[in-house]
Amino acid sequence: MTTPVTYQRHDDIGVITIDNPPVNALGQAVRQGLLDAVAQGSEDHAARVLVLLATGRTFIAGADIREFGKPPQAPILPEVIARLETADKSIVAVLHGTALGGGFEVALGCQLRVALPGTKVGLPEVKLGLLPGAGGTQRLPRLVGIEVALDLITSGRFVGADEALKLGIVDIVAESNDPFEAGLAAARDVLAGKLTPRVTGDLASPAANPEAIERYRTRLETEAPELYSPFRCLEAIAASCEGSLADGLRRERELFFACMDSPQRAGLIHAFFAARTPHKVPDAGEVPTSTRFALLGEHPLFEHIRGKAERAGIKLDSRAAESTQACLIAAGADTACPAHCLSIALLSPEEAEDLTAMDADLALVAAATGMVELVALRATAEQQQATANALKALRLPIVVSRQGSLLATLAKAADDDIANPHAAMEAASLMLAERGWAYRTSDIDLLAIEALYYPRHLGGPHRQASRTIAEHGS
């Protein structure tokens, strides 16, 4: 049986390699593999220092989403990180791509951190209704202090390699773009005494900073008073300066489970999964991306996609030619779309309220926020998917639907009941689900959240309406 984590020695340097594509997520096999590899390195008497790196485009991008909502499997991540931190030999973590969430916490458990150019690190758990639950709220403050930890953890923002070096999160930014080369070079510098490893958990507790805690609390009470996890983040970070690391880790774990039990966590996780593949048309299969479009007329959206076209490998013309596959037609365009091209009407939500008489194969409904909905009218599933692939390649956040516009219906419901727009969207979402316009009911939720400012922590209007019916009946 193959393992996603391997150990090999190169001269007197032991190298632990994670190979768990596509993003080296921290699934159970990776967690167990890390424990086994550290044990191998500790028992390898010829290895004087260990290097931890990952293959592919990124270090550890976070937890394995396939484990979300399931009972935890041993070994759990806090146990793995504790083993890294107490290893007999120093471990140099080599970060590239992204080191996020649990992946960043793994790096914090190592004794020295090297970042390749372009690396980003962060603890975005707050965006999923959680807090870093494997030592992030305790080890990060020991490295950077209370205020910086508050900034990074309550916002969930990502930090680039240079800023991470300036803050003291990483020890060096390597010149090499190869994790293996950078890791061996750093390990040799450790052996030569040029770099000094340190155990993060053994660093002194950060100085108490009640002023910063209260400043961030006031900010959160103003900007996001309805949210739960950011305030638990505050409590966990404050605990980092009140006692030992073990005490802080226990408090962090208590607060982590409190967040896990919060309805907001479930709502935010639902929104997270809703955003994964909303451009996919069921039963369309693998369809080649359309690459030749004509932009007819003028629209602000055209400027956005023109700036993305070359990198996406998509040709945009002002007139249709024989090789043109589809025409994107703005209101008032004075040039017709030829019969051999797919016709796509570009509409505002107000213009898309009734598509029954629309003479087009597809309708592209564009919200002011940048979100777009691609509605199939006469187009086949394959034609819709080919177009959706192109729009996604052009960096447009896109949802696909059929027959009628989800976005237009939700927007009209909210506008018609400005006193209670959320309840209006919830009622409309149930009607949309019955009509069958949505390929997935989660697409209704995503559009409401991203385009119409429905509260993300509720998970979307259809989820909320369905929960209300389940709890109280219709």
DSSP 438: B
User: How many Cβ atoms from other residues are within 10 Å of residue 148's Cβ?
Assistant: 18
How far apart are alpha carbons 211 and 231 in whole angstroms? 15
Q: How far apart are CA 425 and CA 413, in angstroms?
A: 6
From the list 67, 79, 85, 105, the catalytic residue is 105
Handedness of CA 368, 369, 370, 374 (dihedral sign): negative
Instruction: Choose, from 67, 79, 85, 125, the residue flagged as catalytic.
Output: 125
85 is catalytic: no
Burial class of 47 by CB neighbour count within 10 A (0 to 12, 13 to 18, 19+) = buried
Nearest to 31 by CA among 3, 50, 57: 3
Annotated catalytic residue 211: no
Peptide bond just before 22 cis, omega within 30 deg: yes
Nearest to 432 by CA among 418, 412, 452, 416: 412
275 — phi, psi (to 5°)? -85, 0
Place of tokens 């979307």: 460
Measured CA to CA, the distance from residue 369 to residue 364 in angstroms comes to: 14
Sign of torsion over alpha carbons 173, 175, 177, 178: negative
- Other Cβ atoms closer than 10 A to 286: 7
Return all residues near 75 (Cβ < 8 A) that are at least 6 apart. Answer: 28, 31, 32, 35
C-alpha gyration radius of the chain: 26
Q: Return the structure tokens found at 150.
A: 């508050």
Residues 234/227, Cβ–Cβ less than 8 Å: no
Torsion angles phi and psi, residue 303, rounded to 5: -65, -40
Q: What is the DSSP string of 22-88?
A: TTT---HHHHHHHHHHHHHHHH-TT--EEEEEE-TT-S--SS-GGGTTS---SSPHHHHHHHHHT-S
Q: Which amino acid is at 425?
A: M
Q: So which residues are the catalytic ones?
A: 105, 125
